[in-house]
Every structure is written in C-alpha cells, then in structure tokens.
Structure 1
Amino acid sequence: MINPFIKIGQFCFALILFTGVALAQDTSLDENILNKFKNQENVAGRFQFFYSTPNRYKENSAYDWLDAVNIYLNSAEKIKDSISAQQYKMMQAQIYFDLGEFDTSIAIAKELYENKAKMDLPTKKVLLDLMDDDYAKLKLYDKQLEVRQEKKDLGLTNSIAFYDIYANMGFYIKARNDYIMEMKKTVRDDDYFAKAKYHNNVGNYLRLDKSSSVALAKYKEAMGYLTVFLNNINQVKTEKEIVEGNLLKGIIEGNIGKCYTQLKQYEEAIPLLESSIATINEYNKGKFSSDVIENTLDLAECNLQLEKYKTVEDYLNDDLKPVSVENVIKMNRLYATYFDRIGDYKTSSDFLKKNARIRDSITTTDALLKQQQLKSLVGQDLANTRSMIDEQKLALERNRNEMQAKDERINLVFISLVFTLLGFAGMVYAYLKSIKNQRLIAEQKFIIENALVEKDSLLKEIHHRVKNNLQMVSSLLSLQTKNTRSKAAIVALEEGKSRVKAMALIHQKLYQNDDLSVIEMQGYIESLINSIQSVYKKGGHNINITIDAEGTELDIDRAIPFGLILNELVSNSFKYAFPEDDESGKIYIHLSKNGDKGFFEYSDNGIGLPEDTDERANSSMGIRLMNRLVNQLQSTLNIDKSTEGVRFWFNFK
C-alpha cells in the first residue's frame, strides 16, 4: 500500500510543476512578438507595430502572421471598415512579398493602389515602396519607373533612381557609375553603416561584372566600416539598427564568399558562405532571401569542385525554391554536373534538357521585353538626368524639319529633272555618272582610312621613341648617380629620374592604347606608384594606398602635369611622412572628372608638413614645381594641415 504522505508529496510536486509550466507559458506569451501585435489596441497600432518590428518572423512563421492578419481583415470587411481593411491588406501584401510570392503581393497592392486617393501620405509611401520592390522582383521595370515617377510627383523623393534597374537588366558598369554619382555625395563620413552599405553595393556591381578581385577589396572595405558600426559602444543603437547591421554582415560575408568562388578559391569560400546563411536565417527569419539561395548554390559549386559529392547532394536537396530564372538555370546546371560526376548520365541529361527548354522559352520573349524596357528606361533616364534635353529635342526637331524641307526641295528638283529629260540617254548618263561617283567615293574613303591607320601607327611610334628616349635619360641619370659622391646631388638626380619616369610612363600608356587621345588614369596611377616604389626601395611597401580614379580619362596635356604632381606627392610621403614606421601608413588618391569639371585630392596620415611650410614654399623646388604644374591646369593648389597628416586638393577644367 502506498504511503499517503508520498501521495501528498507527488501531488504537491505535480502542482508546482504545472504552475511553473503555466507561468513559463504566460511569460512566453508576454514575450511573443505575434501576441504583442494582437494585443495592440487598434489597427493603427498593429500597422505601426508590424512595419517597425525587425525580424518579426523569428518566433512565428510568416504563415502564422498571415492567418492572424486574415482574421482581422475578414472582421473589418464584415463591418465595412474600409480604412482598417485597407491597412490589413497592405500587411497581407507585405507578408506575401516576404514569402517570395511576388505575383500575389503585387495583385493586392494594385487593388489598393486604385483607391490611393483615400490614403494619407505615409500610407501611400509604404504602398508605393512595396510596389517598387514587387516590380523589381518581377522584372517589370517600366511599371517600376511609373511607381518611382509617382513617388517623385508626391514629393516622397527628390529624384528617380535608375542604377538598380540598370543592374537588374545586366548593365553593371552603367549601374555602378550611376550609383556612385547618385549616392556617394549622400553618405556622411561618420555614418559607418551607410558607408558599409555603399561599398557593398559598389562591390555587387563589380562582382556581377566579373571583376572579382576589385569587388573583393570593396567588400572587405564594407566589412571594415560595418565592424566599426557594430562595435561602437558609444553609439546607442535601436533593435532595428542591430538587426539590420547583423543582416548586412551576413550579406557581405556571402558576397565575399561568392568572390572567392568566382576566383576558384573554394576552401576560402565555404566557411564564409556557411556563416552568411546562418546569419541571414537568424536575422531575416521567415522571409524569402535570394542571398540564401545564391549562397547555397555557391556552396554546392564549391563542394562539387572539391569532389565532396555527398555534401553537394545535401545542399541541392535543401528545399531550395529559386525564383529568378538565373538561379533555376544554375541549380539545374549543378544537378547535371553532379549526376554526371557520379555516373548517372541519364539524370544529368534530363537536367541539361530542362535548361535548354528554359532558355528556348525565354530567349525571344525575354529579348523583346528587355528591348522594350530598356527603351523606356533610357527615355526616362534622359528626361530626368539631363536638364538640357528639351532644348536638344527642339534643336533636333528644327534640324529634322530643315532636312525634311531640303529633301522635299531635292525631290521636286529631281522630279522636274526627270520630266525635263524624258530620254533614255539622259537616264543612262545619270546612272553611269552615279556609278563613277560611288567608285570615286569608295577610293577616297579607302585612301583616308589607310592614312588614318598610318597616322595612328606613326603616333604610336613617336610615343614609343619618346618613351625610349626618356628611359635613356633616366638611365643616364642613374649612371650619374653612381659616379656622384654628394648626397644632395644624388637626391636631386634621383628626384629628376623619378620625374622623367613619370613622363615616360605617360608615353608608354599612350602607345599601348588603342585610343591615342586619352589615358586611363587608374592604371596609370597604379603603374606610377610601382615605379616610385622601385626608386625608393626602403620606403612605401607597407603603406596602404587607396586609388579612387576608376573610369577617369585625361588627355596628354593634363596627364603629364598630373603625373609630375603625383610623383612629387607620393615621393614626399615615402621619404618624409612616416619616419618611424609605415605599417599604419595610409595614402588616399582621388581623381574624378565630370564633363568639363574635375577634382583631385591627395592625403596621407603621416607626420604632416612642418610649421614653416609657407616660408619654405619659395625655396622648395617640389612645391614650386607643383604650383607651376597646377597653374598649367588653370587652378590653384590647396594645402590642408589641420587634419591628421596632410591633404592637397584642387579643381581643374
């Protein structure tokens, strides 16, 4: 028989356990995000809570949220509360977008858009932003432009951005250039999150354009800024900022991994891609993420190349649901390669056929659609980015009318001539004369083309010989240096040698270019710095040098002064800026040109200029030389000694 005291003890223990579980459940209910949403007093509170809550699907799935919103929506429709129904439908459309069901999301959004007149401005912004995102995912760029025009008309944005649309259409260089021009001026120096986002986006355009090495440098720069943002304990961050920061960290890690995959460095790529997927799933839980799909496909690619076929199978069978055609094709290609490697050739062939069918079905339609969308995009881009386009159109219209009137006069003359001649002999004569003129034109064109080719060859030969002569001068200076004992003379000869090399490099770049009129400055500056490092063998090799001159081209009249100015500045940094240690040394070089206006900036974080710099300016050959060279560029050299190190800058035409 069981002791009654034991029964009482068991009952008390069960009661305590039940009470603890109930309390734990009550606590979890209090902390549950979905329950907090339900506990809001009205639809306005729920609407605000929904859009201001980061990672809202962390505890409950998007489908749980959809069920809750549908219940409130049905109640609002029963009592004919149109305002509440409108806001619940917007939340419904947002959830479908988060699930990757973009067709359903845009269908609901378009229905709401028809009654936009009843919405206040903040609600319109939420709806238009969602439609913008939906059309981007569905690649309906003409509709996306209409939405952006609507936002501009409502005063929700100052200008219409095009760079993301250009990128989605495959024009990555155009997208990168437009993005830099549009966004660089808006990023504050102290906003490290914005700087991280900016450099990550620039890296995306470079990676998509297969410039993996340059993109990798941009991603690492972005990660540096983001690390500063996340670790800055002096800046109080909201929960939303923390979630967005960690989500961006996961995205950047994945992008670095993708670069390593493109560079075929698979061992380096795998841990970054795995960490990225884990981070994105943690801070973007429940939402559709193309980054997770792309990273998973890249993991499969890496393991496939490393012949880890079991791991490949795990990744490809990981319930992937790619939306974009590119990802579907990539997944089918990986399946085909995997089955080919393990000897299942029939299944491999089936996946290759799937890709062939996909390509066949989209080739014609996709090309036509892309052509139409590009036409619309370019027209809208020109209308919004060129203030003089209306005048140019008017001028073009006048010229067209003049040409049309001239054509009409020519036609009248021709008709009169035909009626006047009325003879077969005249027609034959005119025909023969036309043939003769065409032959003459063809011969003249041939002569001109040959002359141009010969001219280009002669110009290249001249630049080559000038470069060789300057190299000979440099060699003579080197010989003179070896025969000179005076340290001052040796320094002067080395400086002269460096300047001669800077000019020789200009002519070398010219005769190596197809276009003899301009020089691409990014490559020139890199070559010039390598040349200077070879002169100053003991300095400059540990300095972190950043060059921002991508896409800038100058003619020889401007390139030579720039080369000599940069030679002086870099040489001075190598010689004087870091006397103790150059491990932490940094040099920043920026050169840009927009139309007729240009800007040059050079800075280092060394010991800076001495206090009597202004007094030395008259006696220092380097500063006097730079001032004269800047004067040749019709500008004035500015020197900033108030910041760490030194900064030189000037505008030019």
Structure 2
Amino acid sequence: MKKGFLVLFIGFFCFLLAPSEVKAQDVPSQSENYFQQFKELPDSKSRVDFFFDTSNRYNQNSAYDWLDTVNVYLNSSQKTSDSTSVSEYRLIQSQIYYDLGDYEKSLAIAKDLYEAMEEFPLEMKSLILNIMDNDYSKLELFDKQIEIRRYKRELGLAENVSFYDIYSSLGQHRKAMEDYMTEEKKNIEDGDFYAQAVYNNNIGNYLRLDKSTPTALSYFKKANALIDVYFSDILNSKTANQINEGNHLKGVILGNIGKCHVQLKEYQKAIPFLEESIELIKKYNTGKVTPDLVENTLEIAECYLQLNNYEKATDYLSNDLTPVKIKNILKRNRLYASYYDRTGDFKSANEYLKQNNRIRDSLEDNDTNIKSQQLESVLKQDLENSRKMMEAQKADLEKSRNEIIEKDEKISLVFISLIFTLLGFSGLVYAYLKSIKNQRLIAEQKHFIENSLIEKDSLLKEIHHRVKNNLQMVSSLLSLQTKNTKSKAAIMALEEGKSRVKAMALIHQKLYQNEDLSVIEMQGYIESLINSVQSVYKKGGHNINITIDAEGVELDIDRAIPFGLILNELVSNSFKYAFPHDEENGKIYIHLRKTQGQEGFFEYTDNGVGLPEDSDERANSSMGIRLMNRLANQLQTTLNIDRTAEGVRFWFHFK
C-alpha cells in the first residue's frame, strides 16, 4: 500500500514538473528514415547492430522493402564468398520473416545458422537463440523451446530455464503467474519504472486470462500509472528507441484495460482504451505482426456490435488485419455470425458458424492430447530443474559448512601457535585468551545453527509448496482426462481420484502456510476440504447443513493425510448417496477432539437415507470402504459403523 502511494506521488510530482503530456511521448526521431541510414552503413556487422537496436525500424519503409534490400546484400556477399556477411544478413532475414508473421520461414533460416553456432561470437549466438525461442513459442513447439532455453543457460546468456510463459500458453495461467512472480520480482529495481510497468502488466495479463478480471484490472491500472511516471521522469534521459518501446508498452497496457472492461461487459468504457491502444500500437510497432493489434481490433468490433452500432463494428471487422492465431480466427467468425444474425442474413451467419465448427472439429481430436503431452513434458523439466536447484543449494550449504570448519581449524592453529609462543606469560593471560576463543567459537556455531534452521524451514516449506503444486497438476491432468472420457464409470473414478489428490494437496498447502511445519490445524483444514469436495460434486452438498467441531485440534502429517482421505470418502459418499433428493434438512456432523494424553476421538454422522441392507456384503467389494479400513489401520485403529434411526454414524479412537 505504501509503495503504491509512493508511485502515485512521484507520478503526480513529475506531472507537475513535466513540460508535456504524461500519457505518451512522441519519439523525437519518429520522422527519421532508418531504412536510408541502414543502407548508408559500411558493412554487415554495423548493419546487424543497427537493425536489432532499432525497434521502430519500419516507420517509413515496409518490412518487404527491408527484405528486398537485405536480399541484394546477401547475394553480393555470396558472390564474394564472404561467409561472415552471409551469416549476418541471413540473421536479419530471419528476424524480418518473424516480424512479418512467417514463423516457419524465420525458423528454417535460424536453424541453418544454429548448425554453425560454434563459429559465431556470443552476441550473434544470443540473437539466433532469441529468434528460435520466439519462433518455437509462436508455433507452440514448447519442448523445442525448452531445449533452446537450456542452451542459453549453458552459454551463460540466462541464469535459469524459465517456464512461466509456456505454462500460460498451455492454459496454466495461475501457475505461470506464481512462477513469474517468484523469478522476476527480485530482479526489478525500485527506480526502474519501465520494468515495474512490464511486471504489473504481465501479472495482470495472467489474471485476465485466468478470468480474475477485477484483480487484473487493478494491476493494469498500476502498470499504466508506472509507465506515465516513466515518461515523466525528466531526471533520466531516454533514447528514441526507449521512448518508442515505452509508447508501444503504453498501447499494450491500454488495450489490456479495454479487454478487461469487455470481459466485464462494460463496452462503452472499453472503447476509448481500445481506440487509443490501436493508435499507439500502429504508430510505434509499424510493420510488425502483433497479436495485440488483432485482438484489440476484434474486441472493439465486439463492443460496437453489442452496442448495436453495426456500421462501426463492420468497419473494424473488415480492415486489412488477418488473424493468425486460431482463437482470433474463431472470434472473428463468431462476430461475423453474430452481425449477420442480428441483421437478418441467417445464411451468412450459418456459413461463419460452420467455418468455426470445421476449425474446432479439426483441432478437437489432437489439440487436448498434444497439450497434455506438452504439459507433462514441461512439468518433468520443471521438476528436474527444481531438483537440480535444490541439489546446488545443498552443495553450497555443504561447502559453506566446510569453509566454516576450515576457518575454525585455522583459527585453532593460530591460537595454538600463540599459546606456545606465549608459554612464558602468566596463566591468567592464557586463561583470558582461551576464554575469548571459546566465546567466539560458540557465537559462530550458534549463528551457523540458527542459519541452518532457517534454511531448513525454508526448504521444507518449498518442498511442501512444490508437492502441493505437483498434486494440483495431477488433479488438472485428471480433469483433462475426464473431458476426453465418455464412460460414466471412468469419469466417476477419475473424479473420485481427483478429490483424493486434492485432499492430499490441501495437507501440504496448510503445512507450508503454517509457521509450525510439524502440525496442521484441523478445523481450517476440514473446512477447506469440505469446500474442495463441494466443487467436485456441484449438484450436491449445497443445501446440507454441515457442522464441524474440531477447534484447537492439531495433527501431524502422518496422521493428517490418512484422516483427510477418510473424511474425503465420507463427505463424498454423503454428497453422492445420502441425500438423493437434495433435501434442505440434510445435516452432517463432524466431531474431532483429543481425549486423555495423545488419544483422539473422531465421529461422523449424517441424517441421510443410511446404508443399504446389504452394506456388509458391499463393504467387501466397495473401494471406498476398503480404502477407509486401510487408512484406519494406518492410524492403528478400527473404523466403526453404526446404523441410526436417521442416517449413519462412523467413529473411531486413534493414537
């Protein structure tokens, strides 16, 4: 709250001092002919540097003009057998094809250069790998993208192999946001307003894609304020490229604000943000294919369509932008279908709907399976990187410990030498020096032990956090499998498995959220578990009055996991079978308390239809009952079942 207030205060102060408008700055060299400057440079090396350092290079000449000129230089270099110049012009070619949206052609050229990577300097290797990284991302070849990022780390071009953008591309937006915050927040300096604007815009985008629209909108507004502060910062001069990139970022942020208003169905509010965004992106991203421009154009067309301004809607739909992404093609067709349906041209509307159906049919069979496989591959790589990171931390800890031991040994040797040198001195001086040494060693050992305990707690929390994330990933994979399964029995089994996985994930979540990592507070855990089960069985459990009496009871993880799984089975069974007519008078009572010493007592009752007459015979074949009995054995107890006048009662004592 304090930091946000400080940003706004700085922004307001700079606004008062700034000579021009805060919203955006014109690039001083906007009218410069970069294409002519490029042609006047003496050699391929200077042209490569100029090309990649100029973000708005297509301000006056199209990418096709640049490509034609680069082809002329390339042919000339090939005739003179200048292999270095040939490679550098091929690199520029690859980037131009990427800017034009021809990612396959761009990748083909970059891969040819990649084959001869050993002979290039590190700066050129970095440019080649960045182009390949971007191409693989656009072509959704994430396993190849991971290989490129691993190679970047081996060359020292990146500290870690990041996965957050890949997770987002695979639909795991919340996971992407958590990893992004962990990896990037620590690298942003307090006075770097541009980097802070990028950070808040990316966090907002993950939240927007995750449908957390109000929260996303607050991050975009903060990003917008930060980019205004960046422009108003008159103390730090900016190059033409920096101003150009800042204005382009401003356009992207405004477009995201507009998209949030569209998601909230606030179409009138969205239009000015989207219009200004389109204007800025066109002006400061000239000649490059950008998904933001296409998406914002489709969003503003939807706004006008919802506001019944069909003329404006068709103006935006019929412009010369061609969607590349499947989701944008589907949205454009949907908007055309809606427009023709509203204007009474049902034949045209039906034609666009058929186009969307054909696209979905062609993707439906393979898309989910491919995404599942890629998600599994990324997850394995992420776990492998986490394992390596923990091993490296462990090695560093061991190295530090050995260094401390060696240091202590050296100090001991020094003191022993001094003792032998000063044997002639009195015993009082000797005792005094020995006392100083002992106090010093005790303080160092105490400091080392305290740091080791802190690191141990941090590592344990990280382990529980990752176990929870991995279990959630397993739950997500089970959900994906459920969507591809037609058998009702299989779907039921997968849902039950997902519920059990969530019950275990909650244990680890509660552990890393606790200050005390050894025990779990059961009242909060049971409430979270009930909510989780209710989300699985959506049509049951919402009219049932659930009473939980477990205040003050804490269990360690060895008892909490089997207990949680038993309770998961009981609550699931109640939701599925105990109240078949969804009665409003349904009641569930959960009681957990500690008796004498370490003894505990658990009781679960409901007033549902009760167990069937042949329940004893079914117990031998029911997986749920058998699972609960085995879990009770882990608690060194026996599960007791009583039939009551209303419903059923389960209870047991445990140690």
Alignment TM class, shorter chain as reference? 0.5 to 0.7
Give the deviation of 1:372 after TM superposition: 2.1
Task: Give the drift of 1:80.
Answer: 1.4
Q: Which residue of 2 is the match for residue 227 of structure 1?
A: 228
Change (3 A) 1:102 1:507: same
Give the Å deviation of 1:54: 2.3
1:368 to partner: Cα distance: 2.4
1:26-76 deviation per Cα after TM superposition (whole angstroms, max 9, x unaligned) = xx9x94211110111111111111111120000111111111101001111
Give per-residue Cα distances to partners, 1:180-207, cap 9 Å, x unaligned: 1111111111111111100000000000
SS in structure 2 opposite 1:273?
Answer: helix
Following superposition of structure 1 onto structure 2, how do residues 592-631 of structure 1 map, counting pairs within 5 Å?
A: none
Which residue number corresponds to residue 262 of structure 2? 261
Deviation at 1:83, TM superposition (A): 0.9
Q: CA deviation at 1:363?
A: 1.2
Q: Which amino acid aligns with 2:234?
A: I
Map 1:559-570 to 2 at 5 A.
none
Work out the CA distance in 2 between the residues paired with 1:390 and 1:512. Answer: 36
Q: Does 1:150 align with 2:151?
A: yes
SS at match of 1:223: helix
1:337 Cα deviation after fit: 0.7
* CA RMSD between the two structures: 2.8
Secondary structure at the aligned position of 1:319 is classed as coil
Superposition deviation, residue 387 in structure 1: 3.6
Deviation at 1:513, TM superposition (A): 4.1
Q: Tell me the CA shift for residue 223 of structure 1.
A: 0.9
Residues 33 and 59, structure 2, Cα contact 8 Å, conserved in 1 = no
**1:187 aligns to what?**
188
SS in structure 2 at match of 1:57 = coil
Query: What per-residue deviation string (whole Å, max 9, x for no partner) do you get for residues 107-136 of structure 1?
Result: 111111111121111100000001000110
Q: Which residue of 2 aligns with 1:87?
A: 88
Q: TM-score, normalised by structure 1?
A: 0.56
Matched AA of 1:287:
K
Assess, with a 3 A threshold, how the Cα gap between structure 1 residues 117 and 387 changes in structure 2: closer, same or farther: closer
Match of 2:247 in 1: 246
**How far 1:299 sits from its partner (Å)?**
0.5
Cα distance in 1 for partners of 2:163, 2:171 equals: 13
- Matched with 2:483 is none
**SS of 1:323's equivalent?**
coil
1:333 correspondence with 2:342: no
How many Å separate the matches in 2 of 1:556 and 1:96?
64
**AA at the equivalent of 1:134:** D
Matches within 5 A, 1:497-516: 513-514=528-529
When residues 121 and 309 of structure 1 are mapped into structure 2, their CA distance, relative to the original with a 3 A threshold, is same
316 and 40 in structure 1: CA distance in 2 versus 1, 3 angstrom threshold = same
Name 2:283's counterpart in structure 1. Answer: 282
After superposing on structure 2, the runs of 4+ consecutive aligned residues of structure 1 that deviate more than 3 Å are: 387-391, 506-517
What secondary structure, in the 3-state scheme, does the structure 1 residue paired with 2:280 have?
helix
CA distance in 1, matches of 2:129, 2:152: 7
Structure 1 match to 2:40: 39
Q: What aligned pairs does 1:418-567 form with structure 2 within 5 A after superposition?
A: 513-514=528-529
- Residue identity opposite 2:348 in structure 1: T
**Partner amino acid, structure 2, of 1:45:** S
Q: Aligned partners of 2:322 and 2:171: how far apart in 1?
A: 23
Q: What's the CA shift string for 1:499-524, capped at 9, x where partnerless?
A: xxxxxxx999888644599xxxxxxx
In the alignment, what sits opposite 2:547?
none
Aligned-partner Cα distance in 1 for 2:185–2:33: 40
Q: Hey, what does 2:478 align to over in structure 1?
A: none
State the alpha-carbon separation in 1 of the partners of residues 316 and 389 from structure 2. Answer: 54
C-alpha distance in structure 1 between counterparts of 2:84 and 2:32, whole Å: 29
**CA offsets 1:379-408 (integer angstroms, 9 cap, x no match):** 1111112347889xxxxxxxxxxxxxxxxx
Instruction: Decide whether aligned partners of structure 1 residues 130 and 556 sit closer, same or farther in structure 2, where only a CA change above 3 A counts.
Output: farther
What is the match of residue 52 of structure 1? 53
Post-superposition CA distance 1:570-610 (Å, at most 9, x none): xxxxxxxxxxxxxxxxxxxxxxxxxxxxxxxxxxxxxxxxx
| 1:374 CA displacement | 1.4
* Counterpart secondary structure, 1:260: helix
Describe the shift of the 1:290–1:388 C-alpha distance in structure 2 as closer, same or farther (beyond 3 A). closer
Question: Which residue of structure 1 lines up, in the alignment, with residue 295 of structure 2?
Answer: 294
Query: What residue is the counterpart of 1:624 in the other structure?
Result: none
SS in 1 for 2:158: coil
Matched, 1:162 2:153: no
Distance 1:61 1:378 in 2: 41
1:452-471 CA-to-partner distances (Å, cap 9, x unmatched) read x9xx9xxxxxxxxxxxxxxx
Provide the C-alpha distance between the structure 1 equivalents of 2:391 and 2:227, rounded to a whole number of angstroms: 43
- Mapped to 1, the partners of 2:60 and 2:216 lie a distance apart of 36
The answer on whether the counterparts of 2:94 and 2:107 sit within 8 Å (CA) in structure 1 is yes
Q: Is 2:390 the counterpart of 1:371?
A: no
Counterpart position of 2:62: 61
Aligned residue in 1 for 2:457: none
Aligned length: 384
Unaligned residue ranges in structure 1 (runs of 5+): 1-27, 392-448, 457-505, 518-554, 558-653
Go from structure 1 to structure 2 and tell me whether the alpha carbon gap of 1:513 and 1:383 turns closer, same or farther (over 3 Å shift): closer
Which letter does structure 2 place at the counterpart of 1:226?
I
Cα separation, partners in 2 of 1:353 and 1:90, compared to 1, 3 Å: same
Q: Take 1:238 and 1:180, find their aligned partners in 2: how far apart are those partners? A: 29
User: Who is 2:141 aligned against?
Assistant: 140
Aligned to 1:174: 175
Q: Which whole-Å deviations, capped at 9, do the CAs of 1:319-343 have from their partners, x for residues lacking one?
A: 1211111111111111111111111
Displacement of 1:354 in angstroms is: 0.7
Amino acid at match of 1:87: E
The code of the aligned residue for 2:164 comes to: Y
Is the 8 Å Cα contact of residues 383 and 389 (structure 1) preserved in structure 2? no
* Aligned residue type for 1:68: T
- Counterparts of 1:258 and 1:86, CA distance in 2: 42
Change (3 A) 1:283 1:516: closer
Instruction: Please tell me whether the aligned partners of residues 93 and 108 of structure 1 are also in contact (alpha carbons under 8 angstroms).
Output: yes
5+ residue gaps in structure 2?
Answer: 1-28, 393-495, 504-520, 533-551, 555-655
Partner of 2:471: none
Structure ID, larger Rg: 1
Task: Evaluate the alpha carbon distance shift between residue 359 and residue 556 of structure 1 in structure 2; reply closer, same or farther with a 3 A threshold.
Answer: farther
Distance of 2:553 and 2:309 partners within structure 1: 54
Post-superposition CA distance 1:82-105 (Å, at most 9, x none):
110111011001001011111111
- With over 3 angstroms needed to count, the CA separation of the structure-2 counterparts of 1:510 and 1:353, relative to structure 1, is same
How far apart, CA to CA, are the structure 2 residues paired with 1:288 and 1:42? 28
Task: Letter of the 1:159 partner, please give it.
Answer: N
Task: Name the residue aligned to 1:344.
Answer: 345
Contact kept in structure 2, 1:54 and 1:239, CA below 8 Å = no
Please report how far the alpha carbon of residue 79 of structure 1 lies from its aligned counterpart in structure 2 after TM superposition: 1.4
Structure 1 equivalent of residue 475 of structure 2: none
8 A Cα contact 2:207 2:213, kept in partner:
yes
* Alpha-carbon distance between aligned partners in 2 of 1:189 and 1:42, rounded to the nearest angstrom: 40
User: 1:348-398, CA deviations, whole angstroms, 9 ceiling, x for partnerless residues?
Assistant: 11111111111111112212221221122111111112347889xxxxxxx
Task: Please tell me whether the aligned partners of residues 76 and 84 of structure 1 are also in contact (alpha carbons under 8 angstroms).
Answer: yes
Contact 1:510 1:516 in 2 (8 A): no
Do the aligned residues in 2 keep the contact of 1:300 with 1:312 (CA within 8 Å)?
yes
AA in 1 matched with 2:86: A
- Higher relative CO (CA 8 A, sep ≥ 6), structure 1 or 2? 2
- The amino acid that maps onto 1:223 is N
Structure 1 CA distance, aligned partners of 2:51 and 2:526? 62
Q: Distance in 2 between matches of 1:556 and 1:147?
A: 51
SS in 2 for 1:366: helix
Instruction: For 2:116 and 2:262, locate their aligned partners in 1 and report how far apart those are by CA, in whole Å.
Output: 48
- Residue 386 of structure 1 aligns to a residue whose secondary structure is helix
Name the aligned partner's letter for residue 231 of structure 1.
Answer: S
Secondary structure at the counterpart of residue 170 of structure 1: coil
Distance 1:181 1:336 in 2: 43
The change in CA–CA distance for 1:371 and 1:514 in structure 2 (over 3 A counts) is: closer
Q: How far apart, CA to CA, are the structure 2 residues paired with 1:183 and 1:269?
A: 30
**CA 1:304–1:383 in 2, change beyond 3 Å: closer, same or farther?**
same
Return the alpha-carbon distance in structure 2 between the equivalents of residues 240 and 382 of structure 1: 39
Conserved 8 A contact 1:382-1:389: no
